[in-house]
Chain A
Amino acid sequence: MAAVATCGGDAGSAGSAVATGSKSNVTSFQRRGPRASGTNDSGPRLVSITGTRPSVRNGQLLVSTGLPALDQLLGGGLAVGTVLLIEEDKYNIYSSLLFKYFLAEGIVNGHTLLVASANEDPANILQQIGPVSSSRFGHYYDASKRIPQELIEASKWHGFFLPEKISSTLKVEPCSLTHGYIKLLQFIQNIIYEEGFDGSNPQKKQKNILRIGIQNLGSPLWGDDICCTENGDSSHSLTKFLYVLRGLLRTSLSVCIITMPTHLIQNKAVIAHITNLSDIVVGLESFIGSERETNPLYKDYHGLIHIRQIPRLNNLVCDESDVKDLGFKLKRKLFTIEWVQDNYLRQERNIYPPGFSYLLKQKDSAWGEGSLQHSTFLMSFLAKATAFASRLVRHSEPLKQTGSGRICQAAGPRLWHDGRRQEAPGLLGIPP
């Protein structure tokens, strides 16, 4: 079987000429609208799948992660055919929450689910979340309610619970993948092939997305020792698994979320490998039990969220967000993510009303004991787009705040025009 695409291969042929055993070249990265020359319109019509929308940047098909705040940070959503890797927080509280949001979004949209876990029965996992309200794209889920039972029964889902699938005697070719991973890959490939998500079966034109969720991948419960020792026997088992999984996803209409306890992985180089083999990597860091709980900057937040990697798919550029310090907080219905400094700035803005000039002494920093970087930060925040305030001048009345309070750019040359300031009319005005 020609696994290598040479000239005249199966790249351009339409779905009708598919030989048994070889898959037609349906990838999920297809543009909406007129296709590139040379290929007929093979594969299902991608426009009409519920719960998906094309990306504004390049027409790629996106699905919601179940968390609208995260969708915005990822450039609109999760691209079909990619892997979202979540680096778990220390006690696996918020990562399992994101996992459930993802699955609940699939149930609400009628997607097919595949839930794999080594420590919890997939049926239990599915019952632990419930929908509340919907936004334009994605829904908000209430962590305390349970999903209506009829919704679960109406939806199509496949569960992979490792203790059930592993049987003691099984003749399998010695391959350096752990037995659990081999079974999981075969299970996933079976579902994709049987239900036609890869477009290979012309009878089963699949117009749905397969959402795959794998919980705690890499933990010792999967039979992997990557969290126990630094150079174990199966040290490349996990990376091979991720590689084959990536191949499966790229050629099917599916999307995958994996939560992984990377804080337990002993060999840090492996984390770099895992990051390269995943598409989107999001790290969660919760403040429970850490000294950051008492830091006034992180007041009201439950943890930090680090967007470690965003893929560049079909593109030279990617939608990286400008803001890197993101914190999250979980109110009962809402999981919000915002710029950490926003909270701090809200308080500070009351102390330093705009329209005045301030002389900032180093001791005035509200943060630490007059640390230089904190007072510099405060000073630059107050300066906004204007030059640094260095005189104490009081005007007759304070002026309306003009900017957003966020630092957008440093002082630039357009501040001065014809020798007169354009941007800050109030500061140098001569009092009447």
Chain B
Amino acid sequence: MFPELNNLLNTTPDRAEQGKLTLLCDAKTDGSFLVHHFLSFYLKANCKVCFVALIQSFSHYNIVGQKLGVNLTMARERGQLVFLEGLKSAVDIFFQAQEKPHPLQFLREANAGNLKPLFEFVREALKPVDSGEAGWTYPVLLVDDLSVLLSLGLGAVAVLDFIHYCRATVCWELKGNVVVLVHDSGDVEDEENDILLNGLSHQSHLILRAEGLATGFCRDVHGQLRILWRRPSQSTSQRDQSLTYQYKIQDRSVSFFAKGMSPAVL
């Protein structure tokens, strides 16, 4: 996790909010650093994490996680992390017939399927174990990323249904958190992606939007991060507060600064 981002979001692993849906989106840049941040954040917060990783392999997240101070292999072995490796599962499901329903069953289907098997998998992974061992604080579902599901033939409505079911189970029933990443196609006319993005934006409590700079590539400022808090909690009087920062990604951390205040320019 990035300490500077924790400061901006005003959270620490000890006192993070529960029952929230966080939407990460990126436009014209790569927002995967946010996924790494939240993965290490929730692992350090001692949560039970179910990570649906559709776009990269386990070792990729593991190596980056080690730079951020978490060991995914150990977390997986002791049961804190349930990792669904989409790429490996896709190869298995494509070349070998499966007896029981597989979370990524829709890959084999000719017409647009639904994500019910995937939801069953998530629910099974995050349901509280009654034996009372190794008390994890609360469950977290992390999905990287949902746009892959759209490009594999699912409709935006199917993906929205899946998120709705996950929210009902994880956020409301189990008092956990859900974090998802969606790519914003920007000026390209992608209707399904826009439906998905708009639908999720209305449901989320926190939106982190990583954008490339409008003026193009810059070596010292990699992009701009917009933070939008929605659905304010009852006690404080935050009302759809929005903040914008620029950031630069380094080898082991990301540094944030106000717009125009990059250390390279000052």
> Chain A: which residue is nearest B77 at the CB level?
A7
Q: CA separation between A56 and B2, bound complex, in Å?
A: 25
Contact of B73 among A36, A58, A269, A273 (CB under 8 A): A36
> Chain B: which residue is nearest A29 at the CB level?
B59
A11 contacts chain B at the CB level, 8 A cutoff? yes
- Please classify the interface of chain A as helix (H, G, I), strand (E, B), loop, or mixed, using the class held by over half of its residues: loop
Q: How far, in Å, is B22 (CB) from chain A's closest CB? A: 19
With A29-B57, A273-B151, A313-B60 as given contacts, are A173 and B189 in contact (CB-CB < 8 Å)?
no
A12 contacts chain B at the CB level, 8 A cutoff? yes
B30 contacts chain A at the CB level, 8 A cutoff? yes
- Residue pair B67, A316 in contact (C-beta under 8 Å): yes
With A8-B77, A240-B153 as given contacts, are A176 and B109 in contact (CB-CB < 8 Å)?
yes
Residues of B close to A149: CB separation below 8 A? none
Residues of B close to A4: CB separation below 8 A? 82-84, 89, 103, 121
Residues of B close to A313: CB separation below 8 A? 60
With A239-B151, A272-B185 as given contacts, are A316 and B59 in contact (CB-CB < 8 Å)?
no
Q: CA separation between A250 and B54, bound complex, in Å?
A: 12
- Residue pair B57, A5 in contact (C-beta under 8 Å): no
Which residue among B36, B60, B64, B192 has the maximum number of chain A CB atoms within 10 Å of its CB? Answer: B60
B214 contacts chain A at the CB level, 8 A cutoff? no
Q: How far, in Å, is B128 (CB) from chain A's closest CB? A: 16
Which residue among B59, B64, B111, B189 has the maximum number of chain A CB atoms within 10 Å of its CB? Answer: B59
Question: Could you tell me how many residues of chain A have their Cβ less than 8 Å away from some Cβ of chain B?
Answer: 56
Residues of A close to B191: CB separation below 8 A? 269
- Residue pair B59, A314 in contact (C-beta under 8 Å): yes
- Residue pair B148, A276 in contact (C-beta under 8 Å): yes
| Stretch of A100-108, A241-249, A419-427 on the interface side | A241-249
Q: CA separation between A30 and B84, bound complex, in Å?
A: 20
Residues of A close to B93: CB separation below 8 A? 3
Using a CB–CB distance below 8 Å, which chain A residues touch chain B? 1, 3-9, 11-12, 21, 25, 27, 29-31, 36-39, 58, 173-176, 185-186, 189, 235-236, 239-240, 243-244, 246-248, 250-251, 268-269, 271-273, 276-277, 312-318, 320, 322, 324
8 further interface pairs, Cβ-Cβ under 8 Å (given A3-B92, A9-B76) = A1-B96, A7-B76, A174-B110, A175-B110, A244-B91, A272-B190, A277-B148, A318-B30
